[in-house]
Amino acid sequence: MGVYAMRYCLKKGALPDYLIEMTRQGCCPVLLKSSFYEYGGKICVSCATEGLVSLRRELDAAEGCEDMRLLLTRLRACLEALREAEDWLVPSAVLSLRLDGIWLDRSGRVRLPLLPSGMTPFEAVTSLCSQISFTCPGFSTDLVNRRLFAQAGNGTLSTAEMLRTLSAWSFELGGAARG
């Protein structure tokens, strides 16, 4: 299957059988290609990452340039991946937006592991921003979190609402750069 850069174990029953089979068959283009096996009452997962680039590695390489548009582009790609996964009946709560688990293909599309987080998309994205802030302090992810929380008020934002917010901000930055 290729190079395995990500391996983890889950409690048996943590993932529905249809998601495991969907991942084995490579049906959902958002999911990392993975193999599964049972060991000691657990499901062990090995994710193939050959030909993919870790988001963490990309941000580490770009750190210092403080390119807000790169950050917004990657966050939007993560949200688009969550939205596409939902179209394949893969709930966002079984996908991980941990910085170490987000992979990009050559076209910049995000690939995610089946790794239950139990988070809503809003919680996952704001948590990802916090992880990026801690790991790659050159990016102003606190600005992203503040804008998302301000937009949400006392509630939460849907995937579509976050995409709109980040897209509008990216457009503002693009316009400011041109004009």
Do 10 and 91 form a contact (C-beta atoms < 8 A)? no
Asked if residue 37 belongs to a domain, the reply is no
Whole-number pLDDT of residue 78: 96
Alpha-carbon Rg for the chain, nearest whole angstrom, is: 17
Asked if residue 5 belongs to a domain, the reply is no
Q: 49, 38, 47: which is closest to 11 by C-alpha?
A: 38
Asked if residue 4 belongs to a domain, the reply is no
Asked if residue 135 belongs to a domain, the reply is yes
Quote the pTM value. Answer: 0.87
Whole-number pLDDT of residue 64: 56
Whole-number pLDDT of residue 170: 83
Q: What is the CATH number of the domain that holds 102?
A: 1.10.510
Q: 166, 157, 49, 28: which is closest to 100 by C-alpha?
A: 49
Asked if residue 12 belongs to a domain, the reply is no
Cβ atoms within 10 Å of 161's Cβ, excluding its own? 16
Whole-number pLDDT of residue 155: 83
Asked if residue 21 belongs to a domain, the reply is no
Whole-number pLDDT of residue 122: 94
Asked if residue 6 belongs to a domain, the reply is no
Whole-number pLDDT of residue 173: 74
Q: 67, 70, 75, 56: which is closest to 6 by C-alpha?
A: 56
Per-residue pLDDT of the chain (179 residues), as tens digits, is 456 678 899 998 888 888 988 888 888 999 999 889 888 889 999 998 999 999 998 888 876 555 788 888 999 999 999 999 999 999 999 999 999 999 999 999 999 999 998 899 999 999 999 999 888 877 888 888 999 999 888 788 999 999 999 998 888 876 544 43
Whole-number pLDDT of residue 59: 86
Whole-number pLDDT of residue 179: 38
Classified as helix, coil or strand, 134 is: helix
Classified as helix, coil or strand, 9 is: strand
Q: Print the domain residue range for 111.
A: 51-178
Asked if residue 87 belongs to a domain, the reply is yes
Do 132 and 99 form a contact (C-beta atoms < 8 A)? yes
Tokens of 90: 């893969």
Q: What's the count of helices (H) and strands (E) in the chain, helices before strands? A: 6, 6
Domain total of the chain: 1
